[in-house]
Amino acid sequence: MFVIFLTFNYYSPKPKESEKSHGDDIKTENIDVDDDDDAELVESDLELDMEGCVEPDTDVTLQMGDNSKEPTEEDLDQASEMRSKGAAAYSEQKYDEAIGFYTEAIKLNPSNALFYAKRGQVKLFMILLLFFHFFF
């Protein structure tokens, strides 16, 4: 059985004046808490079993490009070429190369959202491959 968990942010609009509950008009006070107490930090004797825990991701953060850059016509052509190379590498299952090509395209034209989306698609696919390899 295959299950994917997705999370969505829920946006709750502000209620209209007629929909406000009776508790909305309660006033609160800010209370200052003094953090200079003489409280000591005590180390716990609790031992954690880390078996089966996932190690933190140590990958280098992907470069995002400079949004203030105004790409030239040559940059746009080169970025399009990098996108084509990235798509070719992805279809040949060379995912690390594909991410590199899409990153180069992002550096050349950081305002093109498609390059970010394609790079994210490759990264997500790599994660799914790892997931299936690990669990199946």
Whole-angstrom distance, CA of residue 102 vs CA of residue 68: 19
Contact 110, 75 (CB under 8 A): no
If residue 89 lies in a helix (H) or strand (E), which one and from where to where?
helix 73-91
- The answer to whether residue 64 sits within a structural domain is no
Query: Which amino acid type is present at position 123?
Result: K
Between 130 and 82, the more confident residue is 82
- The answer to whether residue 12 sits within a structural domain is no
Q: What is the CATH number of the domain that holds 111?
A: 1.25.40.10
- The answer to whether residue 43 sits within a structural domain is no
Residue 130: predicted pLDDT: 86
Residue 56: predicted pLDDT: 65
pTM for this prediction = 0.56
At 72, list the tokens: 């030239």
At 45, list the tokens: 């004797």
Comparing 8-12, 73-77, 99-103, the range with the smallest average pLDDT is: 8-12
**Helix 95-108 to helix 73-91 angle, to the nearest 10 degrees?**
170
- The answer to whether residue 76 sits within a structural domain is yes
Mean pLDDT over each residue of the chain, to the nearest integer: 77
